A = this chain, B = another copy of it.
Amino acid sequence: MQLGMIGLGRMGANIVRRIVKDGHTAVGYSRHEDQIKEFTDELGDSFQGATDYPAFVALLEKPRVIWVMIPAGATGAVIDRIAELLEPGDIIIDGGNSRYHEDIERAKALAPKGIHYLDIGTSGGVWGLDRGYCLMIGGEAEQVAHLEPLFQSIAPGVDAAERTPGRTGEPSPAEQGYLHCGPAGAGHFVKMVHNGIEYGAMAAYAEGLNILHKANIGKELDDAHSAEVSPLENPEYYQFDIDVPEVTEVWRRGSVVASWLLDLTAAALHADPDLTSFGGRVSDSGEGRWTIHAAIDEGVPAPVLSTALYERFSSRGEALYADKVLSAMRKAFGGHNELPGT
């Protein structure tokens, strides 16, 4: 099959590479002539490129299949522009990180023109070229079925993991790494929750490793104890110098917390055992936030996922005013002065 790709950044480029490797062809759009040339050099006949939308659209076979893989903030405008050039039966895919609300609106807006719209949540990060991408797809069943050959090339395939006990016969799409999750928006909805879970799982590891990291706190001289500070009651229980990088390594085999995130953590800690290359200001993107919005709209408790998000906010200093309020209260009722900073 042929796929049109708008956005030849890391993710878009690697998706193109995966399908071309599997015998499909690709048409790429980029404003930069150079970038087009690079891809043509790399991929040969399997790739054509264009630096303006009409030329790009003209290179596509009908029904056209256009995957938009650009930052969420810019996606809407690009889809609006490209839709003007399309015909009934064509398919637009948003493979980025749009909020699923927008997918629902966009599908509705494109339907009268006969243009189909799929939202595909894509997980795999910088590793997707080799491992394949996990695809969570929203849209109409007919178009999803039509594009399965592409999805099979982009997704990891059934061999990427042992089959789940009880699953036999022809592997289902989910087993191959792509899933039609429901109508427009369902793909990004599932991807959103995926990222919410990711935040929670990451925080679980991070908190636990912090506890290991501080397991030697009983060795510190405790000269400073006063009415203001609670002295450690049992310093003899906190005398461990735990080698956190080695612990993450040992957990990779046989333990209940083995995971791909742990694999990555072990690699990061092997490369930089004291994490000196990091300052501890943790970013967050929309999905973690939207997951909490959804939980609250649904009336479903999500304290772990929320707390994980808030820890990121706090890592960036966003609790400071609240902390000052607490210190002001303590001063007011108890005459407590703040401890000097470190």
The reply on A280 being an interface residue by CB < 8 A is yes
A307 contact set on B, CB distance < 8 A: 303-304, 306-307
Let me know if B319 and A281 touch, CB within 8 A: no
The reply on A21 being an interface residue by CB < 8 A is no
The reply on A150 being an interface residue by CB < 8 A is no
A250 contact set on B, CB distance < 8 A: 134-136, 173-175, 177-179
Q: Of residues A164, A173, A324, A339, which shows the largest number of chain B Cβ atoms within 10 Å of its Cβ? A: A324
The reply on A318 being an interface residue by CB < 8 A is yes
A-B residue pairs in contact (CB < 8 Å), sample of 30: A73-B231, A131-B254, A160-B252, A166-B271, A175-B253, A176-B253, A177-B250, A181-B240, A183-B239, A189-B215, A193-B209, A194-B256, A200-B201, A207-B322, A208-B291, A214-B300, A228-B285, A230-B286, A234-B297, A267-B332, A278-B327, A278-B338, A280-B320, A280-B321, A303-B306, A303-B311, A311-B314, A311-B322, A312-B326, A317-B342
The reply on A49 being an interface residue by CB < 8 A is no
Let me know if B210 and A246 touch, CB within 8 A: no
Per the 8 Å Cβ criterion, residues 283-342 of A in contact with B are 283-286, 289, 291-336, 338-339, 341-342
Let me know if B242 and A172 touch, CB within 8 A: no
Let me know if B324 and A255 touch, CB within 8 A: no
Let me know if B279 and A324 touch, CB within 8 A: yes
> Whose C-beta in chain B lies nearest to the C-beta of A158?
B253
Q: Beyond A215-B298, A240-B185, A278-B327, is A306–B306 a contact (Cβ under 8 Å)?
A: yes
Instruction: Mark A120-141 against chain B: 1 for CB-CB distance below 8 A, else 0.
Output: 0001111110011111100000
The reply on A221 being an interface residue by CB < 8 A is no
Let me know if A332 and B227 touch, CB within 8 A: no
The reply on A144 being an interface residue by CB < 8 A is no
A167 to B225, CA, bound (A): 37
Tally of A interface residues using CB under 8 Å:
175
A177 contact set on B, CB distance < 8 A: 250, 253-254
Q: Beyond A104-B237, A126-B335, A242-B186, is A321–B213 a contact (Cβ under 8 Å)?
A: yes
The reply on A85 being an interface residue by CB < 8 A is no
The reply on A265 being an interface residue by CB < 8 A is yes
Measured between C-beta atoms, what is the minimum distance from A287 to chain B in Å?
9
Measured between C-beta atoms, what is the minimum distance from A96 to chain B in Å?
9
> Whose C-beta in chain B lies nearest to the C-beta of A190?
B247
Assembly stoichiometry (copies): 4
Q: Beyond A125-B333, A205-B197, A240-B186, is A132–B254 a contact (Cβ under 8 Å)?
A: yes
Let me know if B270 and A166 touch, CB within 8 A: yes
- Interface contacts beyond A265-B332, A301-B322: sample of 12 additional A-B pairs, CB < 8 Å, sorted by A: A104-B237, A161-B253, A174-B250, A183-B240, A196-B211, A200-B205, A203-B326, A207-B304, A207-B322, A259-B259, A279-B327, A282-B338
Measured between C-beta atoms, what is the minimum distance from A69 to chain B in Å?
11
The reply on A80 being an interface residue by CB < 8 A is no
A303 contact set on B, CB distance < 8 A: 207, 303, 306-307, 310-311
Ranked nearest first, the 10 interchain pairs of A and B with the lowest CB-CB distance are: A200-B204, A259-B259, A280-B323, A134-B254, A301-B310, A134-B255, A197-B208, A264-B332, A206-B322, A174-B249
